[in-house]
Structure 1
């Protein structure tokens, strides 16, 4: 055996031992709270990827879209015929387009009732609260209300929260927090959002 191969094998054995130890220590089974935040692209896309994974195993999934509901959404269009998927849409578009706080608050509260129902349903394995961070930032929803619904959910249910500037209290209670960091974004260079790639 060459020196290079011996060093590689030794390194891989150490890595395997480390991974095996981590797997052995992971003994708790329960639903989780995941937060996908940050200024980078891909938060909603990551959430839809997890939706696809859960549906692939035949689990019931609920998705609540607080901002992008009026936009075309390739993932939603592909998956919406799955009987195990329910999607609730705020359907007012971006708040900076409506510019009507009262109507936006009413629309948010209405779709939040769908979210509360999903969060209370033990048959729903995964709930995605897509772009809910904006609802908290703009004051359309109260953080205490959102936290209470998430904390009271069935033990096997996982929740994904997406959006920029996730509330510090959601970050603090999350099991996994992923921050998407923007290094460069094509839109800032004048490239239009591309169907099938960006939405």
Structure 2
């Protein structure tokens, strides 16, 4: 065995030991709070990937879509017939289209009732609150209301929160936080959003 192969084997043995030690020390079982935030692309797409994974195991999943709910959504189109998936969609679309704070607040409060019901349901294994960060930023929802629903949810339930500028209190209470960082985005260079790729 060459020196390089010997060093590689020793390095991999150390890595394996560290990984096994972390696996052995991870002994808590419960649902998580996951936050996908940042200005990069892929926050909602990552959440839908986890929805697909959970549905693949036969778990009940709830998805609440704020902001983009009226847009075409390939993932939703593919999965909406699954009996284990429940969808709640805010009826107004993008807030910059409506330009009506009261109408947006009312629509948000209406769909939030559905979210609260899902967050209280012990049979719902995963709840996605897609783009809820904007609802907090614009003042359509109160952070204490959202925190209380998250804190009182069933122990086994995981919640994924998506959207830019996640509230610092949601970040603080999350188990996993991923910040999508934009390096380059095709749209900023004049390329249209592509069906089946971007939505």
Structures share fold, TM-score greater than 0.5: yes
Cα distance between partner residues in 2 of 1:68 and 1:58: 26
Q: Where does residue 173 of structure 2 map in the other structure? A: 173
Of the structure 1 ranges 2-11 and 105-114, higher mean CA displacement relative to structure 2 is found in 2-11
Q: Where does residue 191 of structure 1 map in the other structure? A: 191
Q: Where does residue 35 of structure 1 map in the other structure? A: 35
Report the TM-score, using the length of structure 2 for normalisation.
0.99
Q: 2:121 matched to 1:100?
A: no
Q: Cα distance, 1:127 vs. partner?
A: 0.2
- Tell me, what secondary structure is at the counterpart of 1:70? coil
Write the deviation string for residues 61-110 of structure 1: whole angstroms up to 9, x where unpaired.
00000011110000000000000000100021100110000000000000
Cα distance between partner residues in 1 of 2:35 and 2:95: 22
Q: Cα distance, 1:18 vs. partner?
A: 0.6
Q: Where does residue 132 of structure 2 map in the other structure? A: 132
Q: How does 1:84-123 map to 2 (within 5 A)?
A: 84-123=84-123
- Tell me, what secondary structure is at the counterpart of 1:181? coil
How many residues matched? Answer: 199
Q: 2:20 matched to 1:10?
A: no
Structure 1 residue ranges without an equivalent (≥5): none
Cα distance between partner residues in 1 of 2:49 and 2:115: 19
Q: CA RMSD in A?
A: 0.4
Structure 2 residue ranges without an equivalent (≥5): none
Q: Where does residue 163 of structure 2 map in the other structure? A: 163
Q: Where does residue 52 of structure 1 map in the other structure? A: 52
- Tell me, what secondary structure is at the counterpart of 1:35? strand
Cα distance between partner residues in 2 of 1:98 and 1:80: 26
Q: Cα distance, 1:4 vs. partner?
A: 1.2
Write the deviation string for residues 24-74 of structure 1: whole angstroms up to 9, x where unpaired.
010000000000000000000000000000000000000000011110000
